[in-house]
Amino acid sequence: MSKKQYSYTLSNKKIILASCSPRRILLLRQWGLSFSIIPSNINENSHLKKPSSIVKNLAFRKASFIAKQHKDKIVLAADTIVVLNGKIIGKPKDKKESTKIIKELNGSIHKVYTGVAIIYNNKKNVFYDVASVKMKNLPQRNLEQLFGKHMDKAGSYAVQDRKDNFVEKIYGDYYTVVGLPYLKLAKELKKFDIYLKR
């Protein structure tokens, strides 16, 4: 069988995920990676305006913060934002904001941007992917079940939560919406001799 059918990681957990995101941890494990988890906990405010620039910059800052302390390891970081009609939507601050976000997204078509940074020694790969998401137009009683449910996610919803029944269709890479674009990540990791399984 070919090498591409296996995931390959350096020994002694040489890969660090600079995030404690449950969904990213789960995805990387599903894709066969062995890694350590060290969240960066940086300030995620950004003066940038362009969505693609914001997610790339934040992903790079997260990865750089950890890479400075672990120069012998490959550091992977990511950042995701939701954009509706040009408005950037991050994680809700409280249930009131979550309610407002869910109502705005109801019946909408919006975009989800995920930026990724990979750093190892002096080699740096920073990229992003974007997908469009069409939401169902749910009645108030259904929306109320989502208010405050996903406080740790940009857009206050989780595409992978089938019980929510909020997402109608995705145009692009499903995993970009979850928080790690599989196709682009797999391509970029090959440059570090790391192969994802599917």
Residues noted as catalytic: 79
Separation in Å, CA 121 to CA 73, 75, 118, 195: 8, 10, 10, 19
How far apart are alpha carbons 124 and 59 in whole angstroms? 12
In whole angstroms, give the CA distance from residue 68 to residue 26.
Answer: 25
Reading the block at residue 74, the tokens are 């490959």
Q: Are 107 and 140 in contact (CB under 8 A)?
A: no
Alpha-carbon distance values, 53 to 32, 115, 129 (Å): 29, 8, 11
